[in-house]
Amino acid sequence: MARWEPGTAERLQRAALELFTTRGFERTTATEIAESVGLTERTFFRHYSDKREVLFHGQDELVRTFLAGVDEAPPDASPIEVVAAALGSASSVFTDERRPHSRTRQAVIDENPALQERERHKLASIATAVTGALRARGVDELAATLAAETGVTVFAIAFTRWIREDEQRSLADIAADVLHELLTLTAAAQDSGRLPR
């Protein structure tokens, strides 16, 4: 059996997605994933702690790209401007070439409540990291939390739109549009005088 070839993790990921799609996540084993690309179960576990992690292996990279956007924002940027920079940075990871993979991955997650919970945990981890980065910039706790949670919500909505079959816009453009819509809604509500101040 083949072992330790370059790109092994990616081969396992592609095989897993194909099996999850055709057989279902629950009915697919780590052994079957490994064997489908000529590898051993032991090799699978060198790359992934379990079959679920095949779907979530990029979480650390995503957190890093959000935090890179926070770091690159101008020192005098408002919390929401910092979040906009973080969204732009994170969106850059999701190229047009990744869209089919992202669609397939999300379809697998949408079919499994435990995977949906894991996805929510991933988003919560991003919000926590961004909140910490905003606090390190001197933003007070409430503003940092609101801005970070808003950013993650905008990202989640934009991502859902980005993976639609008929969507052609970049994730960065969609995220910017979603954030703009949110800011327009809040400004209109504030201007109406019906919200408490």
Question: Which regions of the chain carry the CATH code 1.10.10.60?
Answer: 8-54
| pLDDT recorded at residue 3 | 47
| pLDDT recorded at residue 43 | 93
Distance between CA 37 and CA 10 in Å, rounded? 11
pLDDT, tens only, 42-65: 999 999 999 999 999 888 999 999
Interval 109-127 mean pLDDT? 96
Interval 134-154 mean pLDDT? 98
Q: Which residue has the higher pLDDT, 91 or 190?
A: 91
| pLDDT recorded at residue 181 | 96
pLDDT(100) > 90: yes
CATH of 8-54, one of 1.10.10.60, 1.10.3720.10, 1.20.950.20, 3.30.230.70: 1.10.10.60
pLDDT(111) > 80: yes
pTM: 0.89
How far is CA 197 from each of CA 141, 147, 180, 188, rounded to the nearest angstrom? 19, 18, 22, 14
pLDDT, tens only, 160-197: 999 999 999 999 999 999 999 999 998 877 777 676 66
Assigned fold of 58-191: Tetracycline Repressor; domain 2 (1.10.357)
